[in-house]
């Protein structure tokens, strides 16, 4: 009944410090490219945005990365850490100091001490056993603000996990597109090597027939070797891209040939139209924006914690135990008799009157940090809009570039075919053939690079929109094998249960006390 009374008392006490209010942010009503024919402004589900590429291999890679990526596992364990920190904050609301103590000591008093004038027993033994408790009442809301801060920090940890997941899915897709692009560029280079080898044979045949000079042969050899020299560089980039993808999948650098086998080895193509919603959707969808808001919320509560130090701290103190000595007619064995009981109980107060500005300046420090995070939140919203706009315009304009390059590559192919025919007939020189060969290789290579850029820019759009983290809904943050290892080392109680730390859909940080989990 006493505990219930004090909880009712504290529930009516004011909490010093500001209550968090989400700051105003400048959000555009629509995207700058919203009127483009490739853009659909309707609502869309970004849960599995990579399926827009309709590539089963990419789907498998993302699923594998979600299951095995180590950076994502670290982010998941940080959620558990934040939940344990919340438990520490909750514990501060209850009696902060409770101890059981026992003492057995032998004492000798100086013959010249004042006590020696009162008693001739200069040597005696004393034993004591008991309990003591000290409870700082949360009259000013210091501990409740600390709970608010820890709860918001937990929500920020969840948002950070989601942010890692957004980056992970985008990085996997980007690496996959890069691998397909490099494969295409290597194929183009090898096809041109075959074509240039044929041109060299023609030049050699005409030289041996006396219809041209050796310069044509040397020029053809130069162009052929230059093209062959580009292949090792592309293969190096391909190996590095494979290694990067392996790490994203939680694997050591590996040969991913079997994993990358699919119905097509072409560069993943974007859908005819993409849905992007409206800028206001970013505030709830992008986890880094949510994390910035939760961090500001956590810091705002710290202002209340600091302000509470300016007011008197109210305590309930109590000690109960048994004490005995061997002085006079007593014996140590009398300690557990009811007459040997000793207790002290009562309230106390403590007020740091002269703190030389330490407490006041600490409030100012916490407030300055809070203001920094508020501005950081507003800046995060602006940067998110910039990232979407940048990737969106790059996606759209790169498609226009690809259309021109496709026409250019077709013209380069026809020009090369005509140059070879004319050279065989002797109506043009070999320089024309060489120029046509180099133009064909450059245009085909540029087209492959641009097609890869289209898909990578689309990945950038979805990354900037904050899509992909939703796939973890209904799933645990930490895989079973990691939890099992942690449980073997430490008693985690019920905190490894997802229901204890998993946020509900669209859950806001709250100041109500979660389960104690002691």
- Smallest CA-to-CA distance from 332 within 107, 114, 113 is with 107
Gap between the Cα atoms of 65 and 45, Å rounded: 21
* pLDDT confidence of residue 50: 94
Gap between the Cα atoms of 350 and 436, Å rounded: 90
Query: What would the 3-class secondary structure string for 114-175 be?
Result: HHHHHCCCCEEEEEEEEEEEEEECCCCCHHHHHHHHHHHHHHHHHHHHHHHHHHHHHHHHHH
* pLDDT confidence of residue 352: 86
| Bridging pattern class, strands 123-136 and 97-108 | antiparallel
* pLDDT confidence of residue 213: 83
Gap between the Cα atoms of 227 and 196, Å rounded: 9
- Smallest CA-to-CA distance from 183 within 111, 98, 241, 121 is with 241
- With b for 16 or more beta-carbon neighbours within 10 A and e for fewer, the 118-135 pattern comes to eeeeeebebbbbbebeeb
* pLDDT confidence of residue 511: 47
Q: What is the pLDDT of residues 314-350, one digit of tens each?
A: 989 999 998 888 877 778 788 888 888 888 988 988 8
Question: Is residue 388 a contact partner of residue 464, using CB atoms and an 8 Å limit?
Answer: yes
* Residue 439 CA, distance from chain mean position: 45
Gap between the Cα atoms of 434 and 405, Å rounded: 20
Question: Is residue 161 a contact partner of residue 76, using CB atoms and an 8 Å limit?
Answer: yes
* pLDDT confidence of residue 360: 92
* pLDDT confidence of residue 372: 97
Gap between the Cα atoms of 254 and 439, Å rounded: 36
Q: What is the DSSP string of 451-483?
A: HHHHHHHHHHHHHHHT-SGGGGTTS-SS-HHHH
Gap between the Cα atoms of 440 and 410, Å rounded: 9
Query: What would the 3-class secondary structure string for 385-425 be?
Result: HHHHHHHHHHHHHHHHHHHHHHHHHHHHHHHHHHHHHHHHH
Q: In sequence order, what are the beta bridge partners of 315?
A: 136, 348
- Smallest CA-to-CA distance from 128 within 315, 316, 344 is with 344
- Order of all β-strands in the sheet with 341-350: 97-108, 123-136, 313-325, 341-350
**Domains assigned to the chain:** 23-93+138-312+351-501 (1.20.1600.10)
Low-confidence ranges of the chain (pLDDT < 70): 1-13, 112, 115-121, 503-518
Q: What is the DSSP string of 187-211?
A: HHHHHHHHHHHHHHHHHHHHHHTTS
Q: What is the pLDDT of residues 351-407, one digit of tens each?
A: 888 887 899 999 999 999 999 999 999 999 999 999 999 999 999 999 999 999 999
* pLDDT confidence of residue 9: 52
Question: Is residue 257 a contact partner of residue 136, using CB atoms and an 8 Å limit?
Answer: no
Question: Is residue 135 a contact partner of residue 316, using CB atoms and an 8 Å limit?
Answer: yes
Q: What is the DSSP string of 300-363?
A: HHHHHHHHHTTS-EEEEEEEEEEEEESSTT--GGGGGSGGGEEEEEEEEEE-----TTHHHHHH
* pLDDT confidence of residue 14: 76
* pLDDT confidence of residue 1: 45
| Bridging pattern class, strands 123-136 and 341-350 | unpaired
Task: Report CA-CA distances (Å) from 115 to 109, 125, 323.
Answer: 7, 15, 20
- Smallest CA-to-CA distance from 434 within 224, 230, 188 is with 224
* pLDDT confidence of residue 517: 62
């Amino acid at each position: 009944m006493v505990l219930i009374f004090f909880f009712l008392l504290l529930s009516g006490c004011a909490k010093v410090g500001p209550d968090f209010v989400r700051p105003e942010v400048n959000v555009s009503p629509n995207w700058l490219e919203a009127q483009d024919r490739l853009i659909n402004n309707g609502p869309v589900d970004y849960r599995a945005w990579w399926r827009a590429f309709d590539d089963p291999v990419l789907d498998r890679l993302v699923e594998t990365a979600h299951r095995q990526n180590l950076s994502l596992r670290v982010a998941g364990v940080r959620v558990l850490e934040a939940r344990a920190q919340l438990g520490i904050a909750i514990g501060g609301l209850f009696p902060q100091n409770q101890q059981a103590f026992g003492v057995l000591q032998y004492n000798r008093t100086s013959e010249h001490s004042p006590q020696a004038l009162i008693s001739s027993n200069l040597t005696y033994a004393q034993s004591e056993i008991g309990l003591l408790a000290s409870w700082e009442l949360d009259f000013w809301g210091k501990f409740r603000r600390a709970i608010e801060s820890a709860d918001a920090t937990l929500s920020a940890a969840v948002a950070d996990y989601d942010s890692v997941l957004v980056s992970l899915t985008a990085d996997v897709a980007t690496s996959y597109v890069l691998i397909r692009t490099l494969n295409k560029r290597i194929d183009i280079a090898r096809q041109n090597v075959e074509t240039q080898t044929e041109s060299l044979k023609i030049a050699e045949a005409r030289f041996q027939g006396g219809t041209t000079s050796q310069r044509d042969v040397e020029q053809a050899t130069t162009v052929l070797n230059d093209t062959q020299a580009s292949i090792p560089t592309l293969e190096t980039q391909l190996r590095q891209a494979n290694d990067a993808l392996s790490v994203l999948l939680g694997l050591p650098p590996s040969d991913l040939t079997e994993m990358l086998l699919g119905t097509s080895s072409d560069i993943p193509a974007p859908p005819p139209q993409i849905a992007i919603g409206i800028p206001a959707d970013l505030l709830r969808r992008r986890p880094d924006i949510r994390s910035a808001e939760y961090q500001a919320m956590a810091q705002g509560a710290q202002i209340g914690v600091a302000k509470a130090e300016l007011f008197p701290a109210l305590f309930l103190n109590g000690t109960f135990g048994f004490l005995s000595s061997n002085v006079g007619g007593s014996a140590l064995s009398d300690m557990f008799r009811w007459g040997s009981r000793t207790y002290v109980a009562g309230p106390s107060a403590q007020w740091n009157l002269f703190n030389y500005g330490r407490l006041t300046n600490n409030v100012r420090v916490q407030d300055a940090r809070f203001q920094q995070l508020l501005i950081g939140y507003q800046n995060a919203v602006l940067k998110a809009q910039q990232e979407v706009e940048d990737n969106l315009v790059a996606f759209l304009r790169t498609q226009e570039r690809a259309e021109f390059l496709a026409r250019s590559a077709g013209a380069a192919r026809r020009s090369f075919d005509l140059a070879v025919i004319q050279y065989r007939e002797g109506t043009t020189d070999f320089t024309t053939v060489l120029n046509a060969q180099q133009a064909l290789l450059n245009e085909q290579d540029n087209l492959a690079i641009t097609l890869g850029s289209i898909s990578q820019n689309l990945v950038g759009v979805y990354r900037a929109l904050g899509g992909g983290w939703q796939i973890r809904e209904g799933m645990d943050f930490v895989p079973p094998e990691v939890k099992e290892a942690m449980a073997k080392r430490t008693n985690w109680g019920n905190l490894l249960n997802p229901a204890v730390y998993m946020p509900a859909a669209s859950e806001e940080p709250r100041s109500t006390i979660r389960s104690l989990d002691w």
